[in-house]
Amino acid sequence: MKRIAILGSTGSIGSQALDICRRHPEEYRVVALTARGSREKLFEQVREFRPEMAGLTEGIRREEIPEDLQFCRWMSGKEALHAAAAETEADQVLVSIVGIAGLQSVMDALGAGRQVLLANKEALVTGGHLVMDLAERMGKPLLPVDSEHSAIFQCLEAAGPNRPEKILLTASGGPFRTWEKERMAKATREEALKHPNWSMGAKITIDSASMFNKGLEIMEARWLFDMPDDRIQVVVHPESVIHSAIQFADGAVLAQLGVPDMRVPIGYAMSYPRRMTTGTAAPDLFALGRLTFEEPDEDKFPALRMARECLRAGGAACTVFNGANEAAVVAFLKGEITFGQIAERVDAALNRLAGLKADTLEEIMEADRLARMTY
């Protein structure tokens, strides 16, 4: 029986992880659940999974907790995340909250000797050096949940002692893949939220449309697999069946295939090194017929070029890229800026905030704050 804590349980990744727990009640015991503000959904989850601890980062008062849910220890604010990550006796901590808030939680969980299942890519984007270093010192390598990184991880497992020469990071290309740059710049909120293949939270769906998500994933891969950015090739693959691949010196390429359903990578991280049923069927290759590939258009999607420049610049550049983008996406979703302005704002923030340091958690949080202020 594995004891699992889920940070961000009411979200897209969190609820799918609970779906897997529901299918395997003899394998998983849910010990902690947290959400930001969706209390009704969290109440339902606590009622069903009966964790020892539950928390809302936006806060909850004693009298607001339903009578039948008083059995569980309720917490508010940042302490809720800390308790779920480090105080409950979990074997596994799934970090599936959105944004830089994930960094502290990942550090807390690793510091307490937990196995981290990592959906929150922002933790590696902003504090990759700190996270990888702590994971190594604690002897607890991260298990990736992001579908591309899970695919690369699975291919590396199959590669044995052989180091790949190159990572082929696939991307769907998002809803604007075939649009002209000018039309894309004026895209509406509804158009940007319409992902062709994946159903995900709002922030990452907008990032998929702008390809900022792929920029963040280049950074994530750089840390997880210790691979320089010039050996990470983005491959646009509109069918989202190949979730990524690795290439070797002898010309061989290993790829991982599956339907676009996050329960596969979530389930693999949960059951690693075994595999278990996830409720997902394998892709029907005959129905698919063909798989296609394109080179990414870095003029239309400047996030890819900017991400590589940030990795080379080092310091807090990746943190600024992430923070300015988060703020710009919020502004876009509120109708304050156009879709095209997202990349412009991030570029401007990177220019204004060049040279900031990110050696410590404090410096990273400060760079993030400045990026949001000046985005």
Instruction: Give the C-alpha separation, 179 to 183, whole Å.
Output: 6
Q: Phi and psi (nearest 5°) for 188?
A: -85, 170
Residues 74-105: b if buried by 16+ CB within 10 A, e if exposed: bbeeeebbbbbbbbbebebbbbbbbebbbbbb
246 with 159: CB under 8 angstroms?
yes
CB-wise, 36 or 372, nearer to ligand NAD? 36
Residue whose CB is nearest to ligand NAD in the complex, by number = 11
Stretch in the footprint of ligand NAD (CB under 6 A) among 82-90, 116-124, 163-171, 285-293: 116-124
Query: How far from each other are the two terminal CA atoms of the chain, in whole angstroms?
Result: 46
- Exposure string for 19-45, b = 16+ CB within 10 A, e = fewer: ebbeeeeeebbbbbbbbbeebeebbeb
Element holding 257 (H helix, E strand): strand 253-257
Q: How many residues bind Mg ion (CB under 5 A)?
A: 3
The CA distance from 105 to 124, in Å, is 12
Closest separation in Å from C-beta 189 to ligand NAD: 16
Separation of CA 148 from chain center: 10
Considering only CA atoms, which of 273, 210, 265 is closest in space to residue 243?
265
Find the radius of gyration of the CA atoms of the chain. Answer: 20
Q: Please list every residue from 207 through 236 that binds ligand NAD, using CB under 6 A.
A: none
- Residue 122, binding choice from ligand NAD, Mg ion, none, Cβ under 5 to 8 Å by partner class: ligand NAD
Does residue 4 interact with ligand NAD by CB under 6 A? no
Q: Which does 177 bind (CB under 5 to 8 A by kind): Mg ion, ligand NAD, none?
A: none
**b/e for 194-227, b at 16 or more Cβ within 10 A?**
ebebbebeebbbbbbbbbbbbbbbbbbbbbbbeb
Task: Note whether 115 binds ligand NAD by CB under 6 A.
Answer: no
The residues in 48-67 that bind ligand NAD, with binding defined as CB under 6 A, are 57
Q: Which stretch binds Mg ion (CB under 5 A): 79-87, 142-150, 255-263, 272-280?
A: 142-150
Of 3, 4, 12, 192, which one interacts with ligand NAD (CB under 6 A)? 12
258 is a contact residue toward ligand NAD (CB under 6 A): no
10 touching ligand NAD, by CB under 6 A:
yes
Residue in the structure block whose two tokens are 């509109």 = 238
Residue type, 190: E
Candidates 14, 128, 144, 238; binder of ligand NAD (CB under 6 A) is: 14
Count of residues of this chain found to bind ligand NAD when the rule CB under 6 A is applied: 26
Applying CB under 6 A, does 192 fall inside the site for ligand NAD?
Answer: no
Residue 207 binding Mg ion, by CB under 5 A: no
Of 170 and 247, which CB lies nearer to Mg ion in the complex structure?
A: 170
Q: Which of 147, 181, 212 is nearest to 16 (CA)?
A: 147
143 binds ligand NAD (CB under 6 A): no
120 binds, among ligand NAD, Mg ion, none (CB under 5 to 8 A by kind): ligand NAD
The sign of the torsion formed by the CA atoms of 34, 142, 172, 259 equals negative
146 near Mg ion, judged by CB under 5 A: yes
- Residue 270 structure tokens: 């949960």
C-alpha of 208 from chain center: 12
263 residue type, one letter: R
Residue from the set 262, 304, 318, 328 that interacts with ligand NAD by CB under 6 A: 262
Among the residue ranges 30-38, 159-167, 294-302, 342-350, the one whose residues contact ligand NAD (CB under 6 A): 30-38
Instruction: Identify the residue among 52, 108, 122, 326 touching ligand NAD (CB under 6 A).
Output: 122
Q: How far is the CB of 67 from ligand NAD (least distance, A)?
A: 24
Closer Cβ to Mg ion, 32 or 329, answer by number: 329
Place of tokens 């190949």: 242
Rounded to the nearest whole angstrom, what is the least distance from the CB of residue 362 to Mg ion in the complex? 29
Q: Which residues bind Mg ion (CB under 5 A)?
A: 146-148
Q: Which residues bind ligand NAD (CB under 6 A)?
A: 8-14, 35-36, 38, 57, 96-99, 101, 119-122, 146, 198, 200-201, 204, 262
